[in-house]
Amino acid sequence: MCGIISYVGRKKAGPIIFAGLRRLEYRGYDSAGIVTVDKGKFHRVRSVGNIDALSKKLGKKELKGSYGIGHTRWATHGGVTLENAHPHYGEDGEVAVAHNGIIENYRELKEKYLKNHTFKSQTDTEVLAHLIEKFAKEMSLKKAVEKVLALVTGTYGLAVVSVKEPNKLIVARLGSPLAIGIGEKEYFVASDATPILPYTREIIYLDDQEYAEITLDGCQIYKLNQGKVAKESQTIDWSAEEAQKEGFEHFMLKEIHDQPKVIQDAFRGRLREKIGSSYMGGFNMTDKQAREIDRIVLLACGTASYACMVGEYVFERLAKIPTDFEVGSEFRYRNPILDEKTLVFSVSQSGETLDTLVSQREAKRKGANVRGLVNVVGSTIAREADGGTYIHAGPELSVASSKAFTNMVTVLIMYALYFGRLHDLSFEDGLKIIEEFKKLPQKMESILKEAPKIKKLAQKYSKYKNFLYLGRGINFPIALEGSHKLKELSYIHSEAYPAGEMKHGANALLASDFPVVAIATKNDLYDKMESNLQEVKARKSPILAIATKGDKKIQKTVSDVIYIPKTIEILEPILNVIPLQLFAYYVSVDLKRNIDQPRNLAKSVTVE
């Protein structure tokens, strides 16, 4: 949500910043802007809409200067207008600021320090710009930023430049991520590593309450009210090429097709056939300590929450440990009961989901063992957890998640296998799970080969205005995720139910213009699911079923079938979700939606 890209060096800053904004599009935004500095003057261009609109506004105009800042904004304070687009100036136009996050006390700051100032926007960010500029008239830019940060309540990822201090960039972070890329006599700052990778793989991630003064001569990092901080850079192993579409029409489709490969990255080196278990590096807990865990809590939001619902089922099935899934945005507003025998997993693709992060912090305050499960190396959840596991899905640039969801489920199942083997899960059962895990990539490839058939089905069903998704047991969360994908990508109203609950209300919705997508694979609940589908059929709703290959019986009940290979029940979600992802994708293509950047959504949600 929102994105910052900044540069200081010896090259022209404008083209570098513009290219960086392109690579940040996946975060979600509604306006964009760039400021560069040359010979004591700002050069700014801003636009409402996407980066193409900014490009048209730029035209052949050159943004002169070798340092500057850029921003993609997602509206919070004030509407989607040119005046509200970032970067913002101070009152005298001597300081420019780009800001992610929310300043909660901006009105109080405005009233106390800026009574006579004239503001051109409705944003909280412009208050920061005015305040920094005001203090910078009496002290250095660094000290001015430091003073303002001490006054601020809220969250920020901040980039500041001044016409008075050439070739200098001040950046700061509290709750909104910032990464600093280290080049040869040049530095890049961005909301994540993606726009930095074409130039350098050496990255420093700022932690909360840290800020940096960056010049041509170096980068010095400070902790608010504590002084200088020594930090080592990390080498990122994602290539810039990995973040490209590789011939696919959209990032979303590429990432769906990435899944057979990235699931191997998730379980490679972690499955232990000799003992029928798994080894999770970074877990930071001995077997003895793990055996003392008597409760597991899974924290997540959005798509990650459905992965956790699968995890809840699998932990109890394999490990027989009471497990609860909790929505990150609600968890800390209760009074959760946690202790030293509770293990909490914070699950997030970006590792920056603020609702999950603050709930993780609450869990730590209450004495629980906290572990992160994230995709982005060096993200805040990963750094603040007591340990954890990277899911190794690689860059996921489409706003709607696909491969990260699959790898989250995979890693959670491997953790459940580990805990199961510490308790009563037999070696034979553990080995069977491992053997079936290793067959998944090939089975996933076979489902992806059905894409042309799924595309035709999507074209058939795209005319409908409402959908209902049904699942039972471990597949109910997959029904939720399938429905979630359809509404995210296509903007069609969709909801999901446990199939056994239909008779308690949802049957009232069923009609010939209300199709049902049902997960009806062969498992212990198949007969129950078939009965539920007979109820749907009796009410004339068209039924599209996900079924196990070879199941001819189901054709008598449903309108259309997508077949998937057979696997063991606890691994079914990994296969069942793929046709639902493809279905949502192709429905949305048929409706000509903006696939990779759905309206009103963002990839990394860093506000509450």
Judge if 197 and 80 occupy the same domain.
Answer: yes
pLDDT of residue 436: 97
Is 452 part of a structural domain of the chain?
A: no
Residue ranges for the chain with pLDDT beneath 50: none
Residues 218 and 263 in one domain: no
Segments forming the whole domain that contains residue 151: 3-243
SS3 189: strand
In a domain, 602, yes or no: no
Residue 258 and residue 224 share a domain: no
Set 2, 219, 301, 308: catalytic member: 2
Q: Do the beta carbons of residue 549 and residue 564 sit within 8 Å?
A: yes
The answer to the question of residue 607 being in a domain is: no
158 and 257, same domain (yes or no): no
Residue 608: inside a domain, yes or no?
A: no
The angle formed by the CA atoms of residues 16, 19 and 22, to the nearest 5 degrees, is 150
Query: Side by side, which strands form the sheet with 342-348?
Result: 323-327, 295-300, 342-348, 369-374, 388-390
Looking at residue 43, its pLDDT comes to: 95
Write down the catalytic residue from 110, 485, 522, 603: 603
Overall pTM > 0.85? no
Tokens for 340, please give them.
């030293």
Of 414, 447, 480, which one is at a domain's C-terminal end? 447
Contact 157, 177 (CB under 8 A): yes
Question: Rounded distance, CA 195 to CA 17, Å?
Answer: 9
CATH number of the domain that residue 536 is part of: 3.40.50.10490
- Whether residue 115 is found in the same domain as residue 216: yes
To the query of whether residue 219 is one of the catalytic residues in this protein, the response is no
> Does residue 483 share a domain with residue 388?
no
What does the alpha-carbon distance between residue 159 and residue 136 come to, in Å, rounded to a whole number? 15
CATH assignment of the domain containing 45: 3.60.20.10
List C-alpha distances in Å: 509 to 12, 101, 486, 504: 59, 40, 18, 11
pLDDT of the residue at 567: 97
Q: What is the pLDDT of residue 240?
A: 64
pLDDT tens string 101-143: 889 899 999 999 999 999 999 999 999 999 999 999 999 999 9
Pair 466, 402 in one domain: no
Answer whether residue 600 is part of any domain.
Answer: no
In a domain, 582, yes or no: yes
Does residue 156 share a domain with residue 48? yes
100 and 83 in a single domain? The answer is: yes
Count of domains in the chain? 3
pLDDT, residue 334, reads 86
Q: Do 441 and 484 reside in the same domain of the chain?
A: no
- Is residue 2 annotated as a catalytic residue, yes or no? yes
Q: Which of 243, 259, 275 is the last residue of a domain?
A: 243
Model pLDDT for residues 301-346, shown as the tens digit of each residue: 999 999 999 999 999 999 999 999 999 999 988 888 999 999 999 9
4, 104, 131, 552, 566 from 97: Cα distances, Å = 10, 17, 11, 63, 55
Q: Are 86 and 99 in contact (CB under 8 A)?
A: yes
To the nearest 10°, report the CA torsion of 284, 286, 288, 289.
Answer: -10
- Residue 67 covered by a domain: yes
Q: Which of 243, 269, 303 is the last residue of a domain?
A: 243
- How confident is the model at residue 12, as a pLDDT? 95
Whether residues 236 and 265 share a domain: the answer is no
